[in-house]
Structure 1
């Protein structure tokens, strides 16, 4: 933090080493080796920096031929995986083993094969030879092993099950059966085409995602996270329950850029959670606030954890259109979290920090405000029609230049090299997840599994929109369990969204619906990784923290239904007045939902009044003048009752004081 915010550092704030251990516990991507052999350190740095420079250079010159570009990206990532990540818990953590080097060499071989026999592969399309098959089988095994090391067992098992599904199709129940494919057909489809491992997922990883992760690494090196924390402290630290609002604001800022909700929980939460506990919030609630706020960053423009760029690629839309459409839902999500946080503080009389404990906004901006310029440049270029790749590359260059303005943020040559390596290391987990998702999506494409899942959802929905939405929501939450936001979107958009499209809902609306519920899997026990990380810092109960975080993110459950019934919320095919009306009623509904769930508005609510408030919130979701009138009428009743009750309570307190 800045100099003025040092006074508010709680004694129990996590050290860097404690943060690292906690991230490793819940985020397998962070369990990498720390080499004690100098030449191994230099080798990894050379490979990581080389890959980063390759992507920066090709962002200006243009990528290689699609298959070559994606193969090079995947192969080098695999090399880093086998060098950086141990194969098991008892494997050496300070050096790579002989087996690791052999696997890395095999990964290089898969790149060389495509580069040296590219024209042969193209000419043999559909008629692979023995070498094609052997290298295809090799890379499938390498991706599964690499994914197991980095992403964890969940996605690896799912990918393996899909491969088995492709092979054993004829022997499965009729609902999901297909004609079946040979091992040669399956593996060559994964390696020699751009439909499997080298499909859209890894393609986006090799272009947009890598550069935006790299941009985030440069921003972190210059201290942007500190700027976000200090700014949030200056703006809201003095208000009721101030530290919780600081958590929401700073995590929202950082979460949009950072593609990992878990890493966001730990880095921001190590400061904000102890502060929340100090001002009177419970352990479980403190961890839940940070978890809900960090997960919400994945749906907040401008970057949306890089998912916006994949969505643009998948749907053939402009990035700017997606970012604009996502603004109102993202704001409503955070409005819902802030509402519960504020009402909890009012309900329990929790105060904020004193002005003396807080940094000055003017001083914060003087010290690090210039770090916002690269973000402004990025957003300007994205909305001016430049490609995301080109915009991200220039944003990185701008960051290096702008950081030189002040000594505290200036990057040395060593710092620049460190940022390049940090960015590549951070991109490893996302790339491996995308490679395994490529297997899943490839099998679904090859076997028609996506169509079968769509049919199953529609059958369960019984041709009723609300039921179809409900079962799609459940499917998305299940598919998103334990996954980072990017593979979550790719899987849910491939498996669950088509059911809504077939029902007649616009593709973009359908994709946004499944993505919202996919990322909420980070908050829903039993696999609520973001909530568990928050509980790890706060010392609370993991499952209890998960359920509280889900209550805080209740707007994230309500908002997707709003924009399905009222696409105006996504600014889809309507005019400004309709957008304003839908946004206003949705905002009132989100606030009402928070008040009903917390059981407090102007004063404490009795259960019947809470039910009425929640009913009003739900009514405001359904489009139409009548339903809006009913919702507003119910809320007016709640406000009147609350006003009368509060007046009586205030009078009773005054009489009690006089009597004393």
Structure 2
């Protein structure tokens, strides 16, 4: 992001404040009709993209904004202004019947250009290339050879799909950015300015810091709390890792292990309710279900994920005889408990989401709550200036999500118009030979590859557009299919060879990136297993009735312990390799959908652990 000069900074501050206030107003008093709201949202964000993000990365430290960026910032609003001025005629026109005027073709073409350039600057070249291909495929797909050959469309028909309907750029992903995401970003800004974010860190330090491997547990707990709000793995790494990684290294954790713990803990924040980032809101919109359904489904897998990481961190500390921090170096527990009222904004948010209120209204109430809990704290008390700063701080982060969602909308529109999705489904069926599990593996690989080069939100949208129809035809539950793609788009952040969160953490820990990524893969192994499990056992998504849910949780806890013992190779003392394989097999059995097999896996885990513990006690 560009370091602007003082005058430009003031102009940008006022502009971003106006953007934030507009979205706060629509969240409280109601949004405009979908197509209009989305076009206004994108038109407001475009100038931020061209002013805050330079054409070349090398210019990010320059305080001057070149003249051509000012021109792009102004010109990029013209397609949206045209929509606002001609909204009624656009909404009443008949798609594929009425002519696309020359003005609409010119503005639609310009919009594609502006979006591709903004995508390259804000999100990165990989997504820009993918979007450019799918945009072009609508036009030249009929000239492609073999299975890649698409249907013929004229240039006006392509522009119509992308610009003049809500199935292209202005489709569901951008709608989620224009409503839910924007107000939750502002909510995050209020949590930061009100001291609630700092309270998460203080809470984690006070209640986990003195135990063996305390700093690593601080990292896990604080990243789970902070990451649930931020919804971005790399941002979470830098937000909490600058504090936790040096602490882990100080008590004796190897640098690569400290970085791996932070990257795994930060990555999991995107699957931890209540917010989970933009992808979860888009998932709810794709499925047509309340956001609360997604929250409930995500709880058990997220708890198992973090439970496994905490247990591995604990076993690693015992294995290496690492102690925690002294109480003098940590916040006082009594003081932290007295400040527990700072959790009220989160409690209010969760209550409203689960009670059926709209996410926008829930976030607005959370914003009000964050302001209220800041008042007793002189250090974080939010006066008028801090309130405005919070709105700007949250709104300033919207270009990444907005541009990514708008760009992904072109892909979704292309897949819908050209039938590319049906070709992909056919390819999956052909390779899977009718075996559902192989189809899951293929979709997982596609989601991982997409996630390695794209932000989680974009990777999930593309993965859902391509992979979910195939999984649905194979009989998998729609929620499970979407959650499956979502998980693998997220865990790509810790999957070699392009593990962005692990590499970010290694830069803080001064460790080898590849070594860090491999260790992160081990610590986060349950995140690669559970998605396969919940596709066959909906109890892990709390969607199989009380009995089914209970057995699923019971098996998940067994898998948590079994996989931790297998990965760390330690129960009081190191365990032999053959027994680690036994625990690995037991973890798979614990996640098996059949209750009898699941119970056998739990029994095998318990028996193997007790036998080894008894052997150690006898030897002592």
Q: Is 2:353 the counterpart of 1:382?
A: yes
Within 5 Å, which residues of 2 pair with 1:223-302? 223-302=195-274
Q: Is 2:159 the counterpart of 1:191?
A: no
Write out per-residue CA displacement over residues 593-635 of structure 1, whole angstroms, 9 at most, x where no aligned residue.
1110111123211111111110111112212244224323432
**Contact in 2 for aligned 1:87/1:149 (Cα 8 Å):** yes
Give the secondary structure class of the aligned counterpart of 2:166: coil
Deviates more, 1:636-645 or 1:529-538: 636-645
Distance between the aligned counterparts of 2:133 and 2:228, measured in 1? 32
Distance between the aligned counterparts of 1:480 and 1:78, measured in 2? 24
Within 5 Å, which residues of 2 pair with 1:68-79? 68-79=36-47
Q: Is 2:192 the counterpart of 1:220?
A: yes
C-alpha displacement of 1:180: 3.0
Q: Is 2:569 the counterpart of 1:599?
A: yes
Give the secondary structure class of the aligned counterpart of 2:573: coil
Write out per-residue CA displacement over residues 200-233 of structure 1, whole angstroms, 9 at most, x where no aligned residue.
0110000000000110011011222211111011
Q: Is 2:4 the counterpart of 1:43?
A: no
Distance between the aligned counterparts of 2:215 and 2:471, measured in 1? 40
Deviates more, 1:255-264 or 1:167-176: 167-176
**Contact in 2 for aligned 1:562/1:586 (Cα 8 Å):** no
Match of 2:129 among 135, 138, 157: 157
**Contact in 1 for aligned 2:451/2:490 (Cα 8 Å):** yes
Distance between the aligned counterparts of 2:136 and 2:607, measured in 1? 58
**Contact in 2 for aligned 1:76/1:108 (Cα 8 Å):** yes
Structure 2 unmatched runs, 5+:
none
**Alignment-derived partner of residue 548 in structure 1:** 519
Q: Is 2:594 the counterpart of 1:624?
A: yes
Q: Is 2:578 the counterpart of 1:608?
A: yes
**Alignment-derived partner of residue 52 in structure 1:** 20
- Shift in CA distance, 37/358, structure 1 to aligned 2, threshold 3 Å: closer
Match of 2:69 among 100, 116, 136: 100
**Contact in 1 for aligned 2:177/2:278 (Cα 8 Å):** no
Give the secondary structure class of the aligned counterpart of 2:575: coil
Write out per-residue CA displacement over residues 511-552 of structure 1, whole angstroms, 9 at most, x where no aligned residue.
111111110111112221111100010001112111111111
Normalised to the residue count of structure 2, the TM-score between the two structures is 0.96
- Shift in CA distance, 550/426, structure 1 to aligned 2, threshold 3 Å: same
**Contact in 2 for aligned 1:595/1:613 (Cα 8 Å):** yes
Distance between the aligned counterparts of 2:83 and 2:600, measured in 1? 64
Deviates more, 1:594-603 or 1:162-171: 162-171
**Contact in 2 for aligned 1:241/1:341 (Cα 8 Å):** yes
C-alpha displacement of 1:649: 4.5
**Alignment-derived partner of residue 465 in structure 1:** 436
**Contact in 2 for aligned 1:482/1:522 (Cα 8 Å):** no
Q: Is 2:487 the counterpart of 1:487?
A: no
**Contact in 1 for aligned 2:279/2:486 (Cα 8 Å):** no
Distance between the aligned counterparts of 1:486 and 1:562, measured in 2? 23
Equivalent pairs, count = 616
Distance between the aligned counterparts of 2:235 and 2:68, measured in 1? 30
Within 5 Å, which residues of 2 pair with 1:400-411? 400-411=371-382
Distance between the aligned counterparts of 1:278 and 1:37, measured in 2? 40
Distance between the aligned counterparts of 2:364 and 2:370, measured in 1? 10
C-alpha displacement of 1:437: 0.7
**Contact in 2 for aligned 1:279/1:351 (Cα 8 Å):** yes
Give the secondary structure class of the aligned counterpart of 1:175: helix
Distance between the aligned counterparts of 2:435 and 2:90, measured in 1? 48
C-alpha displacement of 1:456: 1.5
Quote the RMSD (CA, aligned, Å). 1.6
Match of 2:604 among 599, 619, 634: 634
**Contact in 1 for aligned 2:210/2:327 (Cα 8 Å):** yes
**Alignment-derived partner of residue 116 in structure 1:** 85
Give the secondary structure class of the aligned counterpart of 1:486: helix
Distance between the aligned counterparts of 2:110 and 2:140, measured in 1? 21
Write out per-residue CA displacement over residues 379-438 of structure 1, whole angstroms, 9 at most, x where no aligned residue.
111122211111111211222233112211211222111111111111111111111111
Give the secondary structure class of the aligned counterpart of 2:612: helix
Distance between the aligned counterparts of 1:410 and 1:550, measured in 2? 41
C-alpha displacement of 1:458: 2.1
Give the secondary structure class of the aligned counterpart of 1:121: helix
Within 5 Å, which residues of 2 pair with 1:410-559? 410-559=381-530
Distance between the aligned counterparts of 1:578 and 1:63, measured in 2? 40
**Contact in 2 for aligned 1:201/1:438 (Cα 8 Å):** yes
Structure 1 unmatched runs, 5+:
1-31, 651-660
**Alignment-derived partner of residue 578 in structure 1:** 548
C-alpha displacement of 1:451: 1.9
Give the secondary structure class of the aligned counterpart of 1:496: helix
C-alpha displacement of 1:189: 1.4
C-alpha displacement of 1:161: 1.5
Deviates more, 1:208-217 or 1:85-94: 85-94
Write out per-residue CA displacement over residues 545-573 of structure 1, whole angstroms, 9 at most, x where no aligned residue.
11111111111011112211211111214
Write out per-residue CA displacement over residues 494-525 of structure 1, whole angstroms, 9 at most, x where no aligned residue.
11122111100110011111111110111112
Distance between the aligned counterparts of 2:90 and 2:414, measured in 1? 21
